[in-house]
Amino acid sequence: MHETSIAMGLLQSLDELAEKEKAKKITKVRVRIGKLSGIVVDSFAFAFDAIKAEYPKIASAKLEIEEVPVEYECLDCGKVFEVESVYFPECPDCGSLNVKLLRGEELEVIDVEIEV
């Protein structure tokens, strides 16, 4: 389950941030995860909550996850559209398979709230 290693990496980075900023604790972390990122959101959240106790300054932090839908742009007609299935996405307007991925692969920290 690679979600655990990703959560561990995030927690280590947050711990370093807390030290650098001389924070008493981190109270909230907001992340953005795309549906094509390969990360199972529930597993990631579970791993984060299970491991955060090992980091005193993060132990009470709340994790908020924003899931990003898969969005494409049709390179033939210009239509921007979201899809549920990622296999051979087809433009809903013209039926073209000539599409470009715009969103959905994200894995990023949006913001971190710290208490100093």
Residue ranges of the annotated binding site are: 2, 74, 77, 91, 94
Instruction: Note whether 112 and 14 are within 8 A (CB).
Output: yes
Q: How far apart are alpha carbons 79 and 73 in whole angstroms? A: 6
pLDDT tens per residue across span 85-107: 777 899 999 999 999 999 999 99
Q: Please give the average per-residue pLDDT across 4-33, as a whole number.
A: 97
pTM: 0.86
Residue 84: per-residue pLDDT: 86
Give 16's DSSP letter. H
Which has the closest alpha carbon to 91: 106, 68, 100, 35?
100
Q: Phi and psi at residue 10, in whole multiples of 5°?
A: -65, -45
pLDDT tens per residue across span 43-58: 999 999 999 999 999 9
Q: Predicted confidence band at 68 (pLDDT cuts at 50, 70, 90)?
A: very high
Q: Which domains does the chain have, with CATH numbers?
A: 2-69+103-115 (3.30.2320.50)
Q: How far apart are alpha carbons 40 and 99 in whole angstroms? A: 25
Residue ranges of the annotated binding site for Ni(2+) are: 2
Residue ranges of the annotated binding site for Zn(2+) are: 74, 77, 91, 94
pLDDT(4) > 70: yes
